[in-house]
Amino acid sequence: MTTDIPLEADWDRAPNLLDGAQELTLTAGQCDLAYWLSAVAQGTLRGRARRGHATTTPPYMREPGPLREALVLELGNRSLSELRAVQVLSHYVIGAPGPAETEFFVTQVVDEARHSMVFRNHLLELGVPAERLHEQIAQEGADYTKRILDPISEFATSVVRDEGDFIGAVAVFTIVIEGVLAPAAELSERKWGLLDRAAAEIARGASIDEIRHLAVGSSIVREHLARHPEYRPRLIELVRRGRRLWDELPVDEFVLHREHLFQEGMAAHTELLADYEVFPGRRLLETTAEERYDLAERWTDDMARARLPEMGIPEAVDIIVTGH
């Protein structure tokens, strides 16, 4: 039996997240349940269903210290974020206007649940005891949950559940939530590329899914706007509300704390990382925590400049990039 895996879902041929999210057009109709069952379940995930990777973690990643701590914190918080996405997006399944959108969001809910699972499972490979796994993730992520996840998920949920605006909620999730998180995910894949191939593969798999989430979410908004130009002011207002909310969240506190741990940790691996470039022309070892944080922000802006005009809302670029 041969299954033709489309390029964007093929483990070896899919573009990276930044390029894919800027270049690919995919619609909910294309990415239906049958597409997911063949292209993703039997394509992207072949041989990687349980762990999200097909390699091993080097023993030094299990040794206590800043490098391990950076990854444990990152995976724990991302596992909580993905689990929260499952809950939020379940409201999108309920609010979906037709079968195409329903099927697509059912697959996205499964994708996010899988992300949560593989991030969590990798913690076991880093030596977190199975019986303490959930407790430790919840404990270490309590502050992150309260200060970041609660407000952002409350916003996205209320747009679809309370305001009854499915399209608006898709825009919020695509532009404000995943649009902002995607560059951080891309950075993570590149950071861990050599240090822990398993973590990088897990990130790669999540990024392949993410390209689809961003592309389909964009199409849903773009198609709606083309049919209902009168929706534009409401859409812009939601982007503004979402961006304002991001501004109030102390995301930098959490990210920079992890980046500083990573900085300290990578210093012990100068030989391994000697020639490794985080992007062409920039050696990972020479970067600082702040520089990596700024880099992800710059990618967010680049992505907004490419994607928002494509979605039909060029005026939203400024709102995302400058905050006004």
Contacting residues toward Fe ion, per CB under 5 A: 82, 112, 115, 213
- Of 82 and 196, the one with the shorter C-beta distance to Fe ion is 82
DSSP letter at 62?
G
Min dist CB 209 to Fe ion, Å, is: 6
Nearer to Fe ion, 179 or 265 (CB): 179
**8 Å CB contact between 165 and 242:** no
* Residues 280, 247: Cα–Cα separation, whole Å: 30
Closer to Fe ion by CB, 185 or 284: give it: 185
CB of 113 to Fe ion, least distance (A): 9
Which of residues 85 and 261 has its CB atom nearest to Fe ion in the complex?
A: 85
Distance CA 137, CA 140 (A): 5
Nearer to Fe ion, 122 or 213 (CB): 213
User: Smallest gap, in angstroms, from Cβ of residue 232 to Fe ion?
Assistant: 25
Cβ atoms of 46 and 199 closer than 8 Å: no
The 3-state DSSP class for residue 283 equals: strand
| Rounded distance between C-alpha atoms, residue 200 and residue 185, angstroms | 10
- Cβ at position 235, least distance to Fe ion in Å: 20
The 10 Å Cβ neighbour count of residue 144 is: 20
Minimum CB–partner distance for residue 65 and Fe ion (Å): 28
Cα 311–Cα 178–Cα 95 angle in degrees, nearest 5? 75
Nearer to Fe ion, 112 or 125 (CB): 112
Least distance between Fe ion and beta carbon 77 (Å): 13
Report the alpha-carbon distance of residue 9 to residue 15 in Å, rounded: 9
Q: Which amino acid is at 61?
A: M
Name the residue nearer to Fe ion (CB basis): 190 or 213: 213
Tokens representing 307?
Answer: 């994607």
Per the CB < 8 A criterion, the answer to whether 190 and 203 are in contact is no
Q: How far is the CB of 131 from Fe ion (least distance, A)?
A: 26
Cβ-proximal residues to 240 (8 Å cutoff; 6+ apart), any chain: 319
Separation CA 252–CA 146 (nearest Å): 15
CB of 169 to Fe ion, least distance (A): 14
Q: Tell me, rounded to whole angstroms, the distance of Cα 264 from its chain centroid.
A: 25
Measured CA to CA, the distance from residue 153 to residue 259 in angstroms comes to 24
CB 242 within 8 A of CB 172: yes
Nearer to Fe ion, 84 or 115 (CB): 115
